[in-house]
Amino acid sequence: MTITQLIYVLAVAEHKNFTLAAEKTFVTQPTLSMQIQKLEEELEIQIFDRTTKPIQATAIGQIIIEQAQKIVDESDRIKDLIDQEKGFIGGEFKLGIIPTVAPTLLPMFLKTFLNKHDKVNLIIEEYTTDEIIQKLRTGYLDAAIVATPLVESDIRERVLYYEPFVGYIPPMFRKNIGKELSPDTLDLKKLLLLQDGHCFRDGIINICNNKIETESRNFKLQSGSFETLINLSKEGLGYTLLPYLHTLSLNNDDQANLVQFSDPKPAREISLIYTKNELKKQISDALFDVIQSIIRGAIAFQDVKIISPKKTK
């Protein structure tokens, strides 16, 4: 049994296809298949059911895959320890990020990070929070940027910043609101939300104490775009809430439609998260430092109330 064989097993488990797994591990498909078959013969078990499409792990195979992940992770840790000792920050690093953070945060820090750490090959992919947690646990992602707290025992969270919610409310909806927003002044029948699956949507529902009402509308919105919500709001179909950083790039006309919450302002907590094995810690630390140094100049709010990114009962 070799580390290379276990890496091939993990590649097939991830991609559920021998040809694609071979491409991702930079070997020929016959070589990958032969090595996995040799491992199966050595263990006297079958790791994959090759009769299914896509390829699935057998029951015992799934156990082998989970253990293989731990072994490969520990093997990678040796190189990480050496890199840390040498002060080297480089190599491939897969970062997950939720869609409601990516458009505003990435342009703020990415160029600075890459210029400062040009030996890092940063691969950034957008996923929902649930997808990110799963991909962290399988080792596909090295770290991620999400709304927290998550309360996951095997996930570590390092808070990057607190981002207040801001109302986008055109004048036609201002009658009963005043100069500042509060959860009690929100008209829940007029509130436009992102589609299910977005933690920002769940945060708004929690602000409103789970009293969101949409039954009286003759349309149902399934959108993951803040721009869509803004445009619908300008058409008089309702109003919405935005994350503070998203409001910084709005034009002057849209800026005029913003209404701040009264203190303490409801806010979401944005964190860098990773599993407790802390692989590639030197890159995670560098990423954290760059983002925090930049974000301090963009968000100055102090009196905030953290809103859970998950639905509460």
**pTM tops 0.85:** no
Tokens of 121: 């090959």
CATH of 88-162+267-307, one of 3.40.50.1100, 3.40.190.10, 3.30.1300.10, 3.40.50.720: 3.40.190.10
Going by the DSSP 8-state scheme, the letter that residue 181 receives in this structure is B
Question: Beta strands 191-192 and 56-57: pairing type?
Answer: unpaired
The proportion of the chain whose per-residue pLDDT surpasses 90, expressed as a percent, equals 49
Neighbours of 40 (CB within 10 A): 18
Domain 3-82 belongs in CATH node 3.40.50.2300:
no
Q: How do residues 61-77 score in pLDDT, each as one tens digit?
A: 999 999 998 888 888 77
Q: Identify the helix (H) or strand (E) that includes residue 274.
A: strand 265-275
Q: How do residues 81-121 score in pLDDT, each as one tens digit?
A: 777 677 778 888 999 999 989 999 999 999 999 999 999 99
pLDDT at residue 226 tops 90: no
Helix and strand numbers (H, E) in the chain are 11, 11
CATH of 165-265, one of 3.90.1150.10, 3.90.1720.10, 3.50.50.60, 3.40.190.10: 3.40.190.10
At 55 the three-state DSSP class reads coil
Q: What is the pLDDT of residue 218?
A: 45
